[in-house]
Amino acid sequence: LGTAIDALRRLARAKRRRGYQDYPSTGWF
């Protein structure tokens, strides 16, 4: 499961870099 969480973290980081958030849970990762 660690790899899945890491992938989600990577996605959240990329979205934050672009300046938008698709869902509020982005802050958790």
Q: How high is the pLDDT of residue 29?
A: 46
Q: How high is the pLDDT of residue 1?
A: 67
Structure tokens at 11: 């996605």
pLDDT digits (tens, 9 = 90+) for 1-29: 688 888 888 887 776 665 555 555 555 54
**Positive or negative: CA dihedral 5, 1, 25, 23:** positive
Q: What global pTM score does this model have?
A: 0.42
Where do we find the tokens 């870099």? 17
